[in-house]
Amino acid sequence: MAGKLYGIGVGPGDPELLTVKAMELLKRCDHIFTPIAKEGGASVAFDIARRFIPATTPITRLLFPMLKDRQVLEHQWSENYRSMEAVVRAGHASAFITLGDSGTYSTFSVVMRYFKRFAPDLEIEVIPGITSYAYAAARAGMPLVEGHEIVSVVSANDSPERLERIIDSSDTVVFLKTYRQRERLLKMLADRGLGECCTFIQKCGLDGERVLRNLDGLAQSPEYLSLVVLKKPHAGNNDTSSEQS
C-alpha cells in the first residue's frame, strides 16, 4: 500500500510559529525530507522543525542547488523525486519540510509538480505555513494591507519593467529574493521618492533578526534571508466601513 506525501511549511524561523497540524504530522511521519542548497550545507527548515521530529525518524537531505543551468537543475530535481517516490511508494507517510509557506516561492512546488506528473496515483497534502512577509510585517508593527489597498508579493529578480509596473500599481509591495538585486531595487525605489516608505527585515524569526527603516547603505548588506516591504502612504484607501469580519 502506498504512503502519503505531506508538503509542510514550517514558517519563517521561530519554531513556535509552526501550526499545530504541522507539529503533529512531524511527530507522526515515518520519513522526513528537507532541502539543502549545497552539499553538506545546513537546512534552515530542519533547524526550525527539529524539536518536533523524533530522534528515530529517518531524515533525508535533498540537494536543490541555486543555479540557472536548467539542464543541471532538472537532473537534480529528477534524482530528488525518485528518492522521495520510492519511500512514499513503499507505504511510508513522508513529509517534505520547507521554509515559510509550502505554496509561496517554495521548493515544494517543484516536488509537487514532479509527483503530479510521474506519480499521480500517490496522495499529496499541502500544509501551509506562516509566510516570512506576514511575520515581518508583524515584527515591524505595520499593517500589510488595509481597506481597499492592493498588496503585491514579488521576486526582486524579476525584470525591471515588471517591477516598475507593480510598484506603480500597488499600495504595498513585498520584495522577496532581494539578495542579488538589492542595489538595483533600492535605486528604483529612490528614483520614485519611495525610499523612506520602505522597511527592511532580515533573518525574520531567527538569530540576527534586524528591522531597519533607514535603508542607506543597505545595498551592501550580505544577508540572504531578507526582504523589503514598500508601504505607500496613501490616504483614502483605508475606508473599511463596508467590510464585514
89-109 tens-digit pLDDT: 999 999 999 999 999 999 999
As its CATH architecture, domain 4-127 has 3-Layer(aba) Sandwich (3.40)
Asked whether the whole model's pTM tops 0.75, one would answer yes
What is the third-level CATH fold of 132-231?
A: 3.30.950
Q: Any idea where the domains of the chain sit in the sequence?
A: 4-127, 132-231
Once rounded to an integer, what is the mean pLDDT over residues 8-29? Answer: 96
**Angstrom distance (rounded) from CA 87 to CA 5:** 9
Using 50, 70 and 90 to split pLDDT, how confident is the model at 169? very high
pLDDT at 241 over 50: no
Contact 84, 63 (CB under 8 A): no
Task: Show the DSSP H helices in 119-158 as ranges.
Answer: 132-140
R_g of the chain computed on alpha carbons = 20
Structure-model confidence comparison of residues 186 and 219, the more confident one: 186
